Amino acid sequence: MTARAAVLSGLGGWVPPRLVTNDQLAEKLDTTDEWIRVRTGIRQRFVVDAGMATSDMAVEAGRRALRSAGESRVDLVVLATSTPDHPCPATAPEVASRLGLGEVPAFDIAAVCSGFVYALAISVAMIECGSADTALVIGADSFSTILNPRDRTTRAIFGDGAGAVVLRAGEAEERGAFLGFDLGSDGSQADLITVPAGGSEQRSMGLVAPEDDYYFAMQGRPVFRNAVVRMSESARKVAERVGWSVGEIDRVIAHQANVRILHAVALELGIPVERLVVNLDRVANTVAASIPLALVDGVVSGHLQPDDHVMLCGFGGGLTWGAAGLTFPSLSVEPLPGLPLPTRPPLPAALPVHAAAR
């Protein structure tokens, strides 16, 4: 009997219409376009307008993913976000309702920049065990709403956006089937990526926190080291579980935090940087939306091809991390609105790397 699997069948993404370039940031902060580009690789980002919420972006990305899959209904909605519309209730049920999906189970996952991989793992497991036949998995964040307006570093790094995939029940031998996952966390380093105030701990003490404590804070150097090590280790574990050598990984879609981190992950894995799918120069770090937005650009640019061995890997606050492996399917995907078509980076070989390796 063929094993039941969860298969990637649809993909969509959306970014808000307001573009903010590095030069525009430099008009308000002590920074320059060169300073940002050299340190991060980011040239621009998109941010929400007043009154726009995470749910608005999630609905747009979800709608595009459903169109890509040719689906109008799903059995499950999982939304990865660290910037929900409200502390209570979760945002996913509203997203499901606005998409006309009825009274399906819908819930949020909060694992910051690893959230999409976590949401994928949960949704895949529910399909594999028969609790659902189809699922809509969304990563969406409006991180601009929790950034300190005076902090040139975080304001340069982050952008807003949403990305989504549709999964369906299928067989493990199919293109698009998720073959294996690895997830992990280290709560002893929770203070490296945090919003210190606004939660139950601070509120229960009855203290008024300093204004800056209500904004996102990150310790850059230890986060960099952890991101490189954790994503590389997680990708290796998944490759081993699914029976690939690292050399057989054709494309790596890692969390789009910083181009230096991405290149360091490639170096740690021992693969050429040409195998990375990179779009952070155009959308910045979009947190839980990062990986699905990179998938959209990879398909539209032609950098992702059917039968490619693809590794997804994320790292975020918690600390949390994770990776997933699949053989990529053929998908019809709409380009991201408001962005010129990405150019296809040069491929390292005429044949897929795993095919050449054999």
- Tens of pLDDT, residue by residue over 30-60, are 899 999 999 999 999 999 999 999 999 999 9
pLDDT computed for residue 356 by the predictor: 41
What per-residue confidence (pLDDT) applies to 282? 95
Cα–Cα distances in angstroms (integers) from residue 336 to residues 36, 53, 299, 324, 329, in the given order? 23, 18, 11, 24, 19
CA 316: distance to chain centroid? 10
Q: How far is CA 60 from the centre of its chain?
A: 16
First-to-last alpha carbon distance for the chain, in angstroms, is 28
pLDDT at residue 343, as a whole number:
60
Question: Position 212: which residue type?
Answer: D
Q: Residue 28 contacts by C-beta under 8 Å, 6 or more apart in sequence?
A: none
Q: Which of 29, 256, 230, 4 lies closest to 129 in space, CA to CA?
A: 4
Cβ–Cβ < 8 Å for 75, 134? yes
Of the candidates 216, 229, 237, 228, the residue with the CA atom closest to the CA atom of residue 317: 216
> Which residues belong to the active site?
113, 255, 285
Contact (CB, 8 A) for 159 and 46: yes
Q: What is the pLDDT of residues 323-341, one digit of tens each?
A: 999 999 999 999 998 777 6
pLDDT of residue 140: 98
**pLDDT value for 201:** 87
Q: Of 45, 37, 281, which Cα lies nearest the Cα of 160?
A: 45
Mapped onto helix, strand or coil, the DSSP state of residue 205 is: coil
Cα distance between residue 262 and residue 228, in whole Å: 8
Alpha helices in the chain (DSSP H): 22-26, 33-40, 54-69, 92-98, 115-128, 152-157, 200-204, 220-242, 259-269, 280-283, 290-301, 353-357
Between CA 312 and CA 304 the distance in angstroms is 12
Identify whether 89 is preceded by a cis peptide bond (ω within 30 of 0). Answer: yes
Whole-number Å distance between alpha carbons of 352 and 176:
16
* pLDDT value of position 355: 43
- Helix 290-301, helix 115-128: angle, nearest 10: 80
Domains of the chain: 4-171 (3.40.47.10), 178-356 (3.40.47.10)
Residue type, 305: Q
Residues 6+ apart with CB under 8 A from 35: none
Region of 284 please: left (phi>0), alpha (psi -120 to 50) or beta.
left
Tell me which residue has tokens 């894995």: 269
Instruction: Judge if pTM exceeds 0.85.
Output: yes
Instruction: Calculate the CA 86 to chain-centre distance.
Output: 21
DSSP for 79-92 reads EE-SS-SSSSS-SH
How many degrees, rounded to 5, is the angle at CA 84 between CA 156 and CA 178? Answer: 85
Which stretches of the chain score pLDDT less than 50? 345-358
